[in-house]
Structure 1
Amino acid sequence: MPVDETLRKLGLSRQEADIYVATLKLGTAKASEIAQKCTMARGAVYYTLKLLREKAFISEVVKSGVKYYSATSPKRLLERIDEEQAQKRELVHSILPELQALQSTSLSLPQVELYEGTEGFKSIFAKILEQDGQQLRCFLSGSILAFMPQFHVQFRRRRKEHSISIRTITERSPEMDAIRALDAKELRVTRYNNLMKNKNVLYYILNDAVIIVKANKVEQMALYVKEKEFVEFQKALFEKVWQEST
């Protein structure tokens, strides 16, 4: 992606991007020199430099009564993004209790969320990791692991980092035998049941919600359902099938 296009994605106008790049090339320069480099009117350059200073892309120093401008180090841009994200996280944390209190007024209603596409597929797995130390129940058809297989490996590692254990019911196959051999290492207990043959579905039962995932190269869909009685029924169903599995 061209540099100027990337800078515009960071919030700069075309003119701001051109002046930032020109200043970066010049090192330290007067507004007139920047204007000449950009073939832009000096008045427009002064105004744009002011905007760039406010956005911390440009710094200004006065030498012998003359203003000189320098572009912020490209590495500083990364630090700036990190600082902005940290500030946003702090703001969210500061209002989180109030937002959760507002949400509690509707907890008696089922919470249903639909996730679609590759990003939705990734998001639903991130949701599973929100509660450290929980114990998951899982119905797994091994065929679903063929979609983004490396992502599943990474998810198992992250699940372990969050101290989330899991009991899995799946069909027997060489691929699942290989995964089952890693059970102790990956905080998992696996049992086999023919019920899961050719189902192409991944079914997670969390402490307070159920997640259903279907995914292949053509389409990806996940459903998140949070409703107490429904979740308790799914847990009971899992325990029955678990006792019948080997």
Structure 2
Amino acid sequence: MILEEQLSFLWFSQNEIKVYISLLRSSWNYVSQLSKDTKIERVSLYYTLELLKEKWLIQFVIKNKIKFFLPEKPEKIVNVYKEKLNIAENILPWLKMLENTSLNKPSFKYFEWMDWVKEVLKEIFEYQDIKSYANLYNAMNHSKDLIDSYFKKISKNKINFNIILPYNQVVIDYLTSINNESQNKTINYVFINQNEFPFEYDVFITDKIVWMISIMNWEIIAIRIESRAYANSQRAIFNLAWLGATNFVV
């Protein structure tokens, strides 16, 4: 079952998976027997065989006027996707040149559910300089393991991470322990009065992108705004808040 699920992530249909696995087990087969083995009716089976042939995962030979289908070796799957990866990497610069070239307009994207939020967080922590307003306590309550993994990445990759947070002793102890464990002191933080400045969304600012993320039981969303002008404005506001935060009594 796990094998079938993994193959589905490679954009194989359920019928393609059944047929290819059946051929691997038998080494070869003809349509009538393959239909019995996979429980796929013949019309659909012919269509599936054609798809697998287009993906270079099966071939056929004709013997005594009967067409026998044979599977390619499983390594073929890896080779095919390596070729596709090379093609994708080669065309990426050209696609980037086409992105928002007409008006250079801001890009806005909205994501729901934890799987998408995790993908957003992966993108954020690819940057080397991040500024953030965040209610880390809320995120820790919901996904402590996830938060741990990203703070380890910040330390390991020497990401310059400046964060303003509502005062909370649990969070203070957590960040202190991280800085004590790490040789790379790249996590800088200041605390503000949580009653006067209650953060609910977490905001992350990089060179030209601003993310707003909520990781709470009743709301798990992410908003991504790509605009250099907007990011510059948010960075200026952050820098002003950072300077002022040292004067707040928490």
Matches of 1:119 and 1:243, distance apart in 2: 35
Percent identity, please: 19
Matches of 1:176 and 1:233, distance apart in 2: 28
Q: Is the 8 A contact 1:183 1:189 kept in 2?
A: no
Q: Is the 8 A contact 2:139 2:147 kept in 1?
A: no
> What does 1:167-206 correspond to in 2, within 5 Å?
167-181=162-176, 182-183=178-179, 185=182, 187-194=186-193, 198-206=198-206
In structure 2, the residue matched to 1:89 is 85
C-alpha change, 1:8 and 1:98, in structure 2 (3 Å) is closer
Q: Is the 8 A contact 2:58 2:72 kept in 1?
A: yes
Q: Which has the higher mean CA deviation after the structures are superposed, 152-161 or 164-173?
A: 152-161
- Where structure 2 has 5 or more consecutive residues not aligned to the other structure, the ranges are none
- Secondary structure of the equivalent of 1:170? strand
C-alpha change, 1:179 and 1:207, in structure 2 (3 Å) is farther
Q: 1:153 aligns with which of 148, 151, 159?
A: 148
Give yes or no for the alignment of 1:123 onto 2:122.
Answer: no
Q: Is the 8 A contact 1:169 1:191 kept in 2?
A: yes
C-alpha change, 1:91 and 1:158, in structure 2 (3 Å) is farther
* One-letter amino acid of the counterpart of residue 140, structure 2: L
Matches of 1:36 and 1:213, distance apart in 2: 49
| Number of residue-to-residue matches in the alignment | 237
In structure 1, the residue matched to 2:101 is 104
Offset of residue 189 of structure 1: 0.9
Let me know the Cα RMSD of the aligned residues. 4.0
Q: Is the 8 A contact 2:161 2:187 kept in 1?
A: yes
Matches of 2:231 and 2:165, distance apart in 1: 20
TM-score (norm 1): 0.72
Give yes or no for the alignment of 1:138 onto 2:138.
Answer: no
- Secondary structure of the equivalent of 2:179? coil
C-alpha offsets along residues 117-144 of structure 1, whole Å, 9 cap, x if unaligned?
Answer: 212211221221343xx22111111223
Offset of residue 60 of structure 1: 7.1
- Where structure 1 has 5 or more consecutive residues not aligned to the other structure, the ranges are none
TM-score (norm 2): 0.71
Matches of 2:192 and 2:67, distance apart in 1: 76
Offset of residue 225 of structure 1: 1.9
